[in-house]
A and B are shown apart, each in its own frame.
Chain A
Amino acid sequence: MIKKIISILLILIPINAFALIEVDITRGNLNPLPLAVSPLSIDENSRKSFERILKKENIGEEISSIVENNLRISGLFNPLDKKAFLQAPDIANLKPRFEDWNLIKAQALITGKVNFIDDKLRVEFRLWDVLAAKEMMALAFTTVPNNWRRVGHIISDKVYQRLTGEKGYFDTRIIYVSEEGPKTQRIKKLAIMDQDGANNKFLTLGNELVLTPRFNPASQMVTYLSYFKNMPRVYLLDIETGTQEVVGDFPGMTFAPRFSPDGKKIIMSFAKDGKSDIYTMNLENRIVEKITNHPSIDTSPSYSPDGKYITFNSDRSGYQQIYVMKNDGSEVKRISFGNGLYGTPVWSPRGDLIAFTKLHKGKFYIGVMRTDGSGERLLTENYYQEAPSWSPNGRVLIFYRETKTNAKGEGFSAKLWSIDLTGYNERQIKTPTDASDPSWSSLLSN
């Protein structure tokens, strides 16, 4: 839906430069690339128009700071202090004096300008290689003024992609569960926000318990668990229209839903008589298929990006462990063999790794392993944390973390955190309330 309303026009200005700077994405913030984000220049008439419409004094500076913030939190870039900049934004965009930028140790430079044309926001930006004294990329966008934040995210994605060779993840959203109230009577609502925490919005009122929302990777639909009328069932929600429907007609609890990579199926668990098995429902023809058939608990299923395999957790060995099987339920293979319990496997959108939650000796870990179970790597350890969800480029995980209460049972909190695959760049994502069960959307503009 967002795509429909927003419809950003992308005009490519052709350039012929070749990549001279390369950022090694696998090394995290050990050596972030110093770069300068010069504020987007703006003429006085345009500035006044945007001030009137958007209530922002200088929209050029606002967009630049979104870019700066995104690049900083990626851990791969070190945006330099604007106070050190010697060249004015408008002149820098025409022709940077590379020796000035070199002096402050910037290796890359982002410049641009903003115009108000026919009631639209037009943004042009350029990425420069300072050492080679060359333009690396130049792009222009035209959109409705209200989309100014998204323009900042799209610029960030383009810069990230040009410098790392991989797609970005900034023009995305997070759906999660907002939490309030005492631990014994939590009020939970579905909420959605931009990846950087802006534009937070509640989607349900908190009248019933809601859990585990997940984005459809192919659209802006969401699947989640709701206790509507005290019957825990998997629901489908259209964020655009707000319409909801229950998924399938099961005589008991359905839970742990996720979409298939093409968005056409929902995979989930159905619990009956103390057993939980994995089912799929085709959203086009409503056909339900039973995928696992075992007296154990089989849950938290997640498809591989090609849709051919499913990873899930099961206690069929006696304890919760991670398994992989073909999408028809055949060839079930256990892949987790380390010490402790393993749960919530999620297949990376790149296909190479499975992220998971591990419980060992009273500590919870978020980790990754290869899809055959080898190469286990624990990224972060804490009192309680779980439910990793991948950024669309498979480089960052978002999850939630809960704190231990004191002797009186006070001091509980639940927050969203992100960590990249290097395990170094761990950050809290600020939310207006406590938060859990995050799910990362695909890139909104592709």
Chain B
Amino acid sequence: MRLNKIFKNTLLVFIACLVLSACATKKEVAIDKIEGQMQGDVYTGTDTVEYLADGVPDRVFFATNESILTTASRETLRAQAAWLRKNPGINVVLEGHADERGTREYNLALGERRANAAKDYLMTYGISSDRITVLSYGKERPVDSGSNPLAWSKNRRSVTVKAN
């Protein structure tokens, strides 16, 4: 279904370019860039990601209004859990965030729920809740100030930050 749509879009671009006989490569690159950074509306790019250690990304991303962990998020959190097990002296703060397209108070609760989804997953991989603090910022601390779906997808996140 989805592939079909992409195929159709590409075909349209192709036809348009035949008509206009210019600009084909430029347009396709732009589409690929957005397609490559989002799946559904979950951010899958690496622009904003920092690393707690080699191969241990610091953040996971969420769909609009959701706090469900994607396959990629679970992989990231398993890497974080492994790193935390190797470094028993390190405690972390899970900072939950929302995008700007929601009311302030609801977003505070949503940020808390997202950070807790990450916390629960770390705990199932053996990290004690004593080592984890949850802190919601709601929509108060976006990483991308853009007003577009890609920016919002980067902002819907839970970031694991070293507390000590």
Contact = CB atoms under 8 A, between A and B. Distances in A.
A184 B109 CA distance: 20
Interface in A238-287: 252-253, 255-256, 269, 271, 273-276
B147 A255 contact: no
A212 B102 contact: no
A212 B140 CA distance: 12
A271 B116 CA distance: 10
Interface string A327-349: 00000000000000101100000
B67 A232 contact: no
Interface in B111-144: 112-113, 116-117, 120, 134-136, 140-144
A387 B103 contact: yes
Given A343-B106, A405-B147, A253 B101 contact: no
B105 A384 contact: no
B42 interface: no
Contacts of B65: 315, 319-320
B105 A212 contact: yes
Nearest to A185: B141
B151 interface: yes
B145 A412 contact: yes
B110 interface: yes
A313 interface: yes
Nearest to A403: B147
A362 B147 CA distance: 11
Interface string A177-219: 0000011111000000000000000000000010110000000
A274 B145 contact: no
B23 to A, nearest CB: 19
A343 B101 CA distance: 12
Interface residues of B, number: 30
A151 interface: no
A274 B67 contact: yes
Given A212-B104, A384-B101, A437-B104, A409 B144 contact: yes
A289 B116 CA distance: 24
Contact of A276 (B109, B140, B145, B146): B109
Contacts of B147: 383, 404-405, 409
B58 interface: no
Interface of B: 65, 67, 100-106, 108-110, 112-113, 116-117, 120, 134-136, 140-148, 151
11 contacts: A184-B141, A232-B135, A232-B136, A253-B136, A255-B108, A274-B120, A297-B110, A315-B106, A343-B103, A359-B101, A359-B102
Interface of A: 182-186, 209, 211-212, 225, 230, 232, 252-253, 255-256, 269, 271, 273-276, 297, 299-300, 313, 315, 319-320, 341, 343-344, 357, 359, 362, 383-384, 386-387, 402, 404-405, 407, 409-410, 412, 436-437
